[in-house]
Amino acid sequence: MPEVGFIGLGRMGSRIARNILKGGFPLVVWNRTREKAEEFAKLGATLSDSPKKVAERCSIVISMLTDPVVTENVLTGTGDMKGASVLDGIQRGKIVVDMSTNHPMISRRIAEKVREKGGDFVEAPVVGGAFIAEQARLTILAAGRQESVEAVSKVLQTTSQKILHVGEIGAASAIKLILNLHLWINMAGFAECVVIASKLGVKPKTLAEVFNNTVFKNYVTEYKSQKIIDDEWSPVATIDLAVKDIKLALEVARDVDVPTFLGSVTKDLYVATAQMGMRDLDVMAVAITYGKLTNEKISKLV
């Protein structure tokens, strides 16, 4: 079993790293907040002092970080990680796997730098939240050279039910952003419907039940509706994360001159929700914003 490096032990990363450990791979970890990495030492992982040291030691290095700016910095030292980044520890034959939701152009830039040093890069953003990660049921969108995707697939299989090889570097992050854009628009749409229904005397639970007994059933009506029904807003993914994702998706759409009528309105709704003090609540909290705007008591937070 090769030693696997893992960088970024946040909500998603910690669950993925645990699955890799459970899969029997020796794990070397680094996290900005050291206490989170120390918890992994108790589970048998080795603590490292920097991303550079993780890369020097491991043949496969996985990252799961907040956003493209952080990812580029930790992987290639574009900011305060200069001299201590993964790239600084890369030698021939090593493979860097980024599971974060990244920007296709930044992914390509990282891949180029890693390849210049004789290593290789695989994009591997994930579909599914923390709960799905915990159950090792993520879908992974892999992009990059076939042989490198194959070389890391045994490690990725410890945390996923399916790995889809979608093309060259950039393709996986593009698809991931598009999937998310579709999801956030869908969620905002459902929030709007819930409040209209509530105004007309139909409870969110009844509305969701009807949706879910028709061909209109989807992830939002089946799972995210539960947040509204239970009035429980602990985050699977936060409003802040949605704002980051939508901005990235709109940026990518702008690069290719596609208008984003629905995406732009949805972004404003998420930004407003964050500004109204709900940035750390679950993404479905856009429904609370609709409730507040219309004075409809769909939550105790309205």
Ligand X SMILES: NC(=O)c1ccc[n+]([C@@H]2O[C@H](COP(=O)([O-])OP(=O)(O)OC[C@H]3O[C@@H](n4cnc5c(N)ncnc54)[C@H](OP(=O)(O)O)[C@@H]3O)[C@@H](O)[C@H]2O)c1
Nearest approach, Cβ of 215 to ligand X (angstroms)?
A: 26
Q: Which residue sits closest to ligand X, CB atoms considered? A: 10
Binding of ligand X at residue 5 (CB under 6 A)?
no
Touching ligand X, residues 20-59 (CB under 6 A): 31-33, 36
Closer residue to ligand X, CB minimum distance, 126 or 195:
126
Binding to ligand X by CB under 6 A, coded x per residue (else -) over 65-104, reads xx---x---x-------------------------xx---
- Which range in 64-72, 162-170, 219-227, 267-275 contacts ligand X by CB under 6 A? 64-72
Binding of ligand X at residue 242 (CB under 6 A)?
no
Residue 106 structure tokens: 């930044």
Residue of the chain from 129, 144, 170, 291 that contacts ligand X (CB under 6 A)? 129
Closer residue to ligand X, CB minimum distance, 12 or 61:
12
Nearest approach, Cβ of 251 to ligand X (angstroms)?
A: 14
Residue of the chain from 11, 57, 117, 247 that contacts ligand X (CB under 6 A)? 11
Residue of the chain from 64, 163, 197, 287 that contacts ligand X (CB under 6 A)? 64
Phi-psi region of 278 (alpha: psi -120 to 50; beta: other; left: phi over 0): alpha
Closer residue to ligand X, CB minimum distance, 33 or 295:
33
Binding to ligand X by CB under 6 A, coded x per residue (else -) over 173-202, reads ------------------------------
Q: Which residues bind ligand X (CB under 6 A)?
A: 8-13, 31-33, 36, 64-66, 70, 74, 100-101, 126, 129-130, 236-237, 241
